[in-house]
Amino acid sequence: MLPNEIYDTLKTEFGDAVIEYNDQQPTDSFILIGADNLFDICHTLRDKDAFLFDYLMCLTAMDLGENVGVVYHLYSMTHKHRLVLKVTAPKTDPKIPSVEMIWRTADWHEREAFDLIGVNFEGHRNLIRILCPYDWEGHALRKDYVAPEYYHNMKVSY
């Protein structure tokens, strides 16, 4: 299936939860969905016979200024089609449902996104830092991040 066909199917099933289909970008066309229904939509995408997206190729997060965004790249081994999903949440309260229960790949990817961008994946069973030390403060890839002066009595700057 092509992304716009997938979009149409999802739209009839989930209505307003599927916000828009965008193919105007130079990148892959993507479907923007609302954070509230993310889990159900992903579940449908994985299990419905027409979709069967059994492979989460990549999950990544971005700092969009006011918002944080998360991008999902899906692939179906059976149908050999792919899809890009995007979801955003306000930076003040960056809550996004976790898809870790749907695709096990998401476990560490979501921990990475949490560690570096600070996205709060709700429902993740072990949302702890993965790259930075556990006692690190802040989320380092945010645009407004300021590195600490000292970490464990070691000077950070050159």
Partner 1 sequence: MGLLDRLDDPYEGGGIILGKVEDLLNWGRSKSDWYLHFGLACCAIEFMAMNASHFDFMRFGTIPRTSPRQADFIMVTGTVTFKMADRIKILYEQMAEPKYVISVGSCSNCGGPYWEHGYHVLKGVDRIIPVDVYIPGCPPRPEAFEEGMMLLQKKISHQAIFNKRKRLESEV
Using CB under 8 A, pick the residue from 140, 142, 143, 144 that binds partner 1.
140
Q: Is 132 in the site for partner 1 (CB under 8 A)?
A: yes
Q: Is 151 in the site for partner 1 (CB under 8 A)?
A: yes
Q: b or e along 11-48 (b: 16 or more beta carbons within 10 Å of the residue's beta carbon)?
A: beeeeebbeebbeeeeeeebbbbebebbbebbebbbee
Contact 68, 89 (CB under 8 A): yes
**Residue count of the chain:** 158
Q: How many residues bind partner 1 (CB under 8 A)?
A: 13
- Alpha-carbon distance 155 to 87, whole Å? 37
Stretch that binds partner 1, among 37-45, 48-56, 89-97, 146-154 (CB under 8 A): 146-154
Shortest distance (Å) from residue 158 CB to partner 1? 5
Q: Is 128 in the site for partner 1 (CB under 8 A)?
A: no
Shortest distance (Å) from residue 80 CB to partner 1? 36
Q: Is 77 in the site for partner 1 (CB under 8 A)?
A: no
Q: Is 154 in the site for partner 1 (CB under 8 A)?
A: yes
List beta partners, residue 58.
73
Q: Is 130 in the site for partner 1 (CB under 8 A)?
A: no
> Which residues contact residue 94 at a Cβ distance below 8 angstroms, ignoring those fewer than 6 apart?
68, 117, 118, 119, 120
Shortest distance (Å) from residue 153 CB to partner 1? 9
Helices (H) and strands (E) in the chain, counts: 3, 9
Q: Is 158 in the site for partner 1 (CB under 8 A)?
A: yes
Footprint of partner 1 (CB under 8 A): 132-133, 140, 145, 147-148, 151-152, 154-158
